[in-house]
Amino acid sequence: MASPGTETMLALERQQVAAGARLLAERGLVLGTSGNLSARRGDLVAVTPTGARLADLDPGQVSVVDREGRVVAGELEPTSELNLHLEVYGRFACGAVVHAHPPVATALSCVVDEVPCVHYEMLALGGAVPVASYETFGTSELAQTVADALEGRRAALMANHGAVVHAADVPAATDLALLLEWACTVYWRAAAIGAPRVLGDDRLAEVAAVIDRRRYGATRPV
C-alpha cells in the first residue's frame, strides 16, 4: 500500500503515461485493458494499472513502483506485465517502455521470426525487428526472452502476443510504437504482392550517414 502524501510523486511521468495510453488507444494499438506503458525517473517507475481501460486512463490511476516492484504511490495494482518493464529498465538505459497489441505487428508475430528492414525509417527501431519466443504473459521467462530480443534494438515483437519498444521518454516511445506498426504494415502489404526487397547493411550505413549530416527529422532555421 502506498504511503499518505504521495499523490504528486512522479507527477509528470504519470501524466505522460496516461496521455500515451490514451493516444495508443485512439490510434488502435491497444484495445480495452490490453497493453501497458511505463516511465522511469531514477529508481522509481510510473506504470499503468492492471485492468484499467487505457482509452480513459487518468494520471491519478497510474501507480508508482520501486525497482523491486513495490507500490510506493497510487491505489491500484500495477500491470500484470510489470516484470517485463522492470527487466527492460534493468538491462537498458531507457526512460520509457510501451507494450501493446497492435493488430498488424501482432499478426506478424504469429508468422515470422523477424521483420526485415524494408524501409530506412526502421533504423529508428534498430533495423530489423526480432520476434521473441513465446512465453506466458506476466512471467519472468517472458520478461527475460523479450529483453534478450531487444539487445541492440529499440523494438521487438513477442510471438503470438504483441510488441514492445523502449525509448528515452513516453512521447518518444509512443512514436516508436506507432512507427513499428507502420513498418509492420508496409512489410505485410509488400509481402502480399511479392518478396519484399530488404535494405542491406551498406544501404543502411549510407542512410545513417545522410541522417547525421543533414540532421534529418529535426527542424532548423534557413
Number of domains within the chain: 1
Residue 89 inside a domain? The answer is: yes
- Residue 115 placed within a domain: yes
Question: Measuring CA to CA, which residue among 132, 14, 140 is closest to residue 81?
Answer: 140
CATH number at residue 145: 3.40.225.10
The DSSP code for 134 is P
Predicted pLDDT at 5: 47
Structural domain range at position 136: 11-214
pTM, two decimal places: 0.91
CA distance 107 to 219: 35
Please list the active-site residues. Answer: 81
CA separation for the pair 26, 150 (Å, rounded): 26
98-118 tens-digit pLDDT: 999 999 999 999 999 999 999
pLDDT surpassing 90 at residue 2: no
| pLDDT tens digits, one per residue of 54-88 | 999 999 999 999 999 999 999 999 999 999 999 99
The residue that leads in pLDDT, 154 or 213, is: 154
pLDDT tens digits for range 150-192: 999 999 999 999 999 999 999 999 999 999 999 999 999 999 9
Strands 71-73 and 96-100: unpaired
Determine, yes or no, domain membership for 4.
no
* Cβ-Cβ contacts under 8 Å for 107 (sequence gap 6 or more): 188
Give the pLDDT score at 6: 57
